[in-house]
């Protein structure tokens, strides 16, 4: 968010949208007030009753129609997202596949859980023990500018599949994409008011936290803290997907051509505006220069600032980010790093761009190695082997993602297990976010909870335990008989004994001391 979270805004009536590649105005939407947010949540709460009562089969049928809508309107999606967010159309179009898989994952899960999950009644013999997962009501979303379409759709799917209504505050930089998302769900047949958008700044986000039954926030750690603090007032559960400073460890046996290509893709995808993009590279000393030469050859081929749709890196979607790029670059150079490529903003066609920036001679105390840069940066630091690389990689307040590059898959996977990060890829980066069966989220300042995989579904449900007992349960009730303590001890041995003999002893204790009718 550009404005401090929860602060009141000026009473502007419209929020304008601009193309970051050329500054052209694309359109405008109505700004919401705090009262508008309250009204939207109230309407969502009313609509949720009918959405939940519709039943899991009909709900899932409608959501699965969304897959067809995404396929049929892919070209439109690419055009709208590209124009308002700056990325090449191929990127949002390619992300419709993971969105379809997300729908399949959560509709199947919703159906599987609809009749409850039977669990063991333990020593309550003859009883039935079941767990039910029920919708909590209205899920609120406060989402960022870097992936406004993919996250705007994906994060709402589990809540909708579980029977909740949703209200989303898109980034103020992408209101038209938010309106597109609402229209897509409407096209799929989702009833009125089940999916709503409210546009605005910090006051709108704060009001949504106050009103919703559960919150999903994606953004910076600083704002994430404020979301959690505000949600604590009403004990509203939150899931936070926050920033990262992802490390890439290059092992001595890595294929340098393949690794260089993967590192460039992992840093420059979406012009580097990716929370789990590579931000730090640790490589053996004797590989730094040959690796850098290959990287320089590749970044020189990337197309940027090209008019039309045929390009690789779009503009900086959020202009204030350039100040961070400049500060981190200046800090690295002042502390001894060598700038090998890029490092300065470009003004092209009325938009602002940042070229792939390659630096060598990096050290751990440089700001770029400690803080999130969130751009197309390849800072390379020389290390003496895997253990030093691992130590530096784990020396971070973040813990979102990481990657290992090696020909020895077993060694790479072993190293992955030792990295303190929510997602680790071996011989790839970034794209685990597209494997929707995997949880996604991080440790420490990278977030709380997971926003992908089956785990995401359980953030949007209330867990209810239902236990049905036969009349024999009265044997456990007061008043206690003379042999009750021996029966209790015997039951413990029967169910939890360490050996067959101990369990048989428990059977005898129960039989000899059980209450008589």
**CATH code for the domain in which residue 128 is found:** 3.40.605.10
The Cα angle at residue 242 between residues 459 and 432, in degrees rounded to 5: 80
We report the CATH number of the domain holding residue 337 as 3.40.309.10
Q: What pLDDT is recorded for position 1?
A: 36
Q: Model confidence over 337-380: pLDDT tens digits?
A: 999 999 999 999 889 999 999 999 999 999 999 999 999 999 99
Whether 503 is in a domain gets the answer: yes
> Which H or E run includes 223?
helix 221-233
Average pLDDT in the 458-468 region? Answer: 97
Q: What pLDDT is recorded for position 445?
A: 95
Q: What pLDDT is recorded for position 3?
A: 44
Q: What pLDDT is recorded for position 517?
A: 55
Q: What pLDDT is recorded for position 250?
A: 98
For the cut 60, the answer to whether the pLDDT of residue 4 exceeds it is: no
Lowest mean pLDDT among 11-15, 154-158, 213-217: 11-15
Q: For all residues of the chain together, what is the average pLDDT?
A: 95
For the cut 60, the answer to whether the pLDDT of residue 11 exceeds it is: no
How far is residue 31 from each of residues 218, 317, 324, measured CA to CA in Å?
21, 21, 28
Whether 397 is in a domain gets the answer: yes
Whether 10 is in a domain gets the answer: no
For the cut 80, the answer to whether the pLDDT of residue 7 exceeds it is: no
**Do 319 and 360 have their domain in common?**
yes
**Do 229 and 261 have their domain in common?**
no
For the cut 70, the answer to whether the pLDDT of residue 66 exceeds it is: yes
Tell me how crowded residue 409 is: count the other CB atoms within 10 A of its CB. 11
Average pLDDT in the 157-176 region? Answer: 98
pTM of the model: 0.93
Catalytic residue ranges: 241, 275
**Do 362 and 334 have their domain in common?**
yes
Q: Model confidence over 85-100: pLDDT tens digits?
A: 999 999 999 999 999 9
Tell me how crowded residue 396 is: count the other CB atoms within 10 A of its CB. 26
Give the integer Cα–Cα distance in Å for 499 and 316: 66
Percent of the chain with pLDDT over 70: 97
Terminal CA-to-CA distance of the chain, rounded, Å? 69
**Do 166 and 272 have their domain in common?**
no
Tell me how crowded residue 271 is: count the other CB atoms within 10 A of its CB. 30
Q: Model confidence over 279-334: pLDDT tens digits?
A: 999 999 999 999 999 999 999 999 998 777 789 999 999 999 999 999 999 999 99
Domain with 86 in it: 33-242+454-463
Whether 384 is in a domain gets the answer: yes
Q: Model confidence over 179-192: pLDDT tens digits?
A: 999 999 999 999 99
Q: What pLDDT is recorded for position 2?
A: 40
How many domains is the chain partitioned into structurally? 3
Give the integer Cα–Cα distance in Å for 413 and 430: 17
Whether 28 is in a domain gets the answer: no
Q: What pLDDT is recorded for position 475?
A: 83
Question: Among 151, 245, 194, which Cα is nearest to 58's?
Answer: 194
Q: What pLDDT is recorded for position 513?
A: 85
**Do 71 and 140 have their domain in common?**
yes
Whether 55 is in a domain gets the answer: yes
Q: What pLDDT is recorded for position 358?
A: 98
**Do 74 and 192 have their domain in common?**
yes
Query: Would you say the C-alpha torsion 383, 387, 388, 389 has a positive or negative sign?
Result: positive
Q: What pLDDT is recorded for position 516?
A: 65
Tokens of 339: 């700038």
CB 506 within 8 A of CB 497: yes
């Amino acid at each position: 968010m550009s404005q401090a979270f929860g602060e009141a805004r000026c009473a502007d009536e419209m929020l304008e949208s601009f193309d970051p590649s050329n500054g052209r105005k694309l359109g405008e939407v109505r700004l919401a007030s705090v009262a508008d947010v309250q009204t939207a949540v109230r309407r969502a709460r009313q609509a949720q009753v009918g959405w939940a009562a519709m039943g899991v089969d009909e709900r899932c049928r409608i959501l699965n129609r969304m897959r067809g809508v995404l396929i049929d309107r892919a070209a439109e999606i690419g055009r709208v997202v590209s124009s308002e967010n700056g990325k090449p159309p191929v990127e949002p179009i390619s992300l419709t596949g993971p969105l379809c898989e997300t729908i399949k994952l959560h509709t199947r899960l919703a159906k599987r859980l609809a009749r409850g999950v039977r669990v063991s009644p333990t020593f309550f013999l003859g009883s039935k023990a079941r767990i039910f997962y029920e919708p909590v009501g209205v899920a609120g979303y406060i989402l960022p500018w870097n992936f406004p379409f993919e996250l705007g759709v994906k994060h709402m799917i589990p809540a909708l599949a579980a029977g909740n209504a949703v209200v989303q505050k898109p980034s103020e930089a992408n209101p038209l994409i938010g309106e597109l998302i609402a229209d897509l769900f409407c096209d799929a047949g989702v009833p009125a008011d089940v999916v709503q958008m409210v546009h605005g700044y910090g006051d709108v986000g704060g009001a949504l936290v106050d009103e919703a039954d559960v919150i999903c926030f994606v953004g910076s750690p600083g704002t994430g803290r404020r979301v959690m603090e505000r949600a604590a007032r009403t004990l509203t559960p939150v899931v936070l997907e926050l920033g990262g400073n992802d490390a890439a460890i290059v092992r001595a046996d890595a294929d340098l051509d393949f690794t260089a290509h993967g590192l460039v893709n992992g840093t420059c995808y979406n012009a580097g505006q990716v929370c789990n993009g590579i931000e730090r590279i640790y490589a053996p000393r004797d590989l730094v220069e040959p690796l850098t030469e290959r990287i320089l050859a590749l970044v020189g081929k990337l197309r940027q600032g090209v008019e039309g749709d045929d390009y690789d890196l779009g503009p900086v979607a959020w202009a204030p980010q350039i100040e961070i790029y400049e500060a981190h670059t200046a800090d690295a150079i002042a502390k001894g790093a060598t700038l090998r490529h890029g490092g300065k903003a470009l003004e092209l066609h009325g938009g602002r761009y940042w070229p792939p920036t390659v630096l060598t001679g990096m050290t751990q105390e440089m700001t770029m190695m400690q803080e999130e840069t969130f751009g197309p940066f390849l800072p390379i630091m020389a290390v003496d082997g895997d253990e030093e690389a691992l130590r530096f990689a784990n020396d971070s307040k973040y813990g979102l993602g990481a990657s290992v590059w090696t020909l020895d898959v077993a060694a790479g996977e072993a190293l992955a297990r030792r990295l303190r990060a929510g997602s680790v890829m071996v011989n790839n980066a970034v794209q685990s976010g597209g494997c929707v069966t995997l949880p996604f989220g991080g440790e420490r300042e990278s977030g709380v909870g997971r926003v992908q995989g089956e785990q995401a579904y359980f953030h949007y449900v209330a867990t209810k335990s239902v236990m049905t007992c036969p009349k024999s349960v009265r044997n456990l009730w007061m008043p206690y008989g003379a042999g009750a303590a021996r029966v209790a001890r015997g039951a413990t041995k029967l169910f939890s004994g360490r050996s067959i003999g101990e369990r048989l002893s428990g059977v005898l204790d129960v039989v000899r001391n059980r209450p008589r009718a």
